[in-house]
């Protein structure tokens, strides 16, 4: 074997070692995603009850409305929240509140909503949204809590809640943790009807991880004997085996026209990642993707009513 052949073989060996090392690193990094879907119960990070804004009417006699929105840390239509600054993020939050009141939303499920942090100039975004939108009740889960950065899922409501719980999917390499906020809300004052509302944010990368997270949600909801609404950023569309379809099947939940292409939520593009699922005891009266640019996700709005005069 001549020197050139030896050199070529040596180069190939080095390349093979580099590729093998890269594959090993990837496997070690992603393995936790593939083998674990555990969820930790964490303290509720922020909850409140305050005076109702006059634009929020509180109890609804029949229909009530639910909105889901990934607010993208208050970036609005901008590229990234780091480029916005506190003043602009505050303005974006005020616009979200304006739309919430304009649409007369009874319950709003939020994702990627921040506490004070480095990129928003110390703005307590969840508290600002709670006050400016005029909601009387709210729950926030700090799914991410690291130096200079905290954010997670939330539920804001004009209806009172009797239960508030927070859950975070355990942190994994590469991706910051997601989770969900759960509240049991009293929908009707006259017949003491309640509904369990979940604001959820699932893993953005691995479909198998989303399925495991869905299993964790199912397990937690087993403790509640109430009709369920799950709203949020599922990071997947409606297809066989997807987390959103899996949750709907296992919990006997309905989705509005699940195979329709008319309700894209991820901007720009045509992907439908944000959903509102409801128990069979309820029905959709109206469903739409709202036209406002509030973040890199469109808000989803559903008008809902109970099918029968049952008490939960």
- Pairing mode of beta strands 253-254, 228-233: unpaired
What pLDDT is recorded for position 275? 98
CB 110, CB 156: distance < 8 Å: yes
Rg of the chain taking only CA atoms, in angstroms: 22
What pLDDT, on the 0 to 100 scale, is given for residue 277? Answer: 98
**Three-class SS of residue 176?**
coil
Report the side by side order of strands in the sheet with 274-279: 39-42, 161-169, 179-188, 193-201, 228-233, 274-279, 253-254
Neighbours of 215 (CB within 10 A): 16
Q: Which of 75, 92, 91, 72 is nearest to 83 (CA)?
A: 75
- With both helix axes pointing from N to C terminus, report the angle between 3-35 and 207-221 in degrees, rounded to the nearest 10: 10
List the one residue out of 129, 27, 149 whose CA is nearest residue 69.
129
> How high is the pLDDT of residue 33?
47
Q: What is the pLDDT of residue 35?
A: 46
Nearest to 279 by CA among 232, 227, 243: 227
Averages of pLDDT over runs of 10 residues in the chain (312 residues) are 59 66 56 61 80 52 88 83 81 95 97 88 89 94 90 96 94 81 90 92 93 96 96 97 97 97 91 97 97 96 85 50
Predicted local distance difference test score (pLDDT) of residue 299: 98
Rounded Cα gap, residues 247 and 93, in angstroms:
31
User: Measured between alpha carbons, how far is 268 from 266 in angstroms, rounded to an integer?
Assistant: 6
The whole-number pLDDT of residue 36 equals 53
């Amino acid at each position: 074997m001549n020197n050139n052949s030896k050199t070529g073989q040596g180069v190939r060996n080095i390349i093979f070692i580099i590729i093998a090392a890269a594959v090993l690193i990837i496997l070690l990094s992603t393995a936790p995603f593939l083998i674990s879907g555990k969820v930790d119960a964490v303290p509720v990070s922020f909850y409140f009850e305050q005076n109702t804004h006059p634009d929020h009417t509180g109890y609804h006699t029949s229909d009530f409305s639910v909105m889901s929105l990934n607010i993208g840390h208050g970036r609005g239509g901008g590229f990234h929240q780091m480029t916005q600054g506190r003043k602009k993020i505050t303005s974006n939050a005020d616009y979200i509140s304006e739309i919430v009141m304009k649409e007369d939303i009874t319950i709003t499920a939020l994702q990627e909503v921040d506490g004070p942090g480095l990129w928003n100039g110390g703005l307590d975004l969840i508290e600002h949204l709670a006050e400016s939108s005029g909601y009387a009740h709210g729950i926030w889960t700090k799914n991410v809590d690291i130096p200079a950065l905290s954010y997670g899922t939330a539920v804001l409501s004009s209806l009172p809640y009797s239960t508030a719980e927070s859950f975070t999917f355990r942190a994994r390499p590469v991706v910051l943790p997601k989770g969900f906020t759960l509240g049991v809300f009293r929908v009707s004052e006259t017949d003491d009807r309640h509904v369990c509302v979940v604001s959820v944010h699932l893993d953005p990368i691995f479909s198998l991880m989303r399925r495991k997270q869905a299993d964790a949600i199912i397990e937690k909801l087993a403790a509640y004997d109430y009709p369920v609404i799950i709203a949020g950023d599922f990071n997947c569309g409606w297809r066989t085996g997807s987390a959103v379809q899996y949750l709907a099947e296992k919990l006997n939940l309905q989705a509005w026209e699940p195979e329709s292409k008319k309700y894209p939520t991820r901007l720009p593009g045509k992907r439908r990642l944000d959903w509102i699922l409801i128990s069979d005891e309820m029905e959709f009266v109206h469903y739409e993707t709202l036209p406002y640019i509030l973040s890199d996700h469109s808000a989803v709005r559903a008008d809902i009513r109970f099918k029968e005069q049952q008490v939960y």
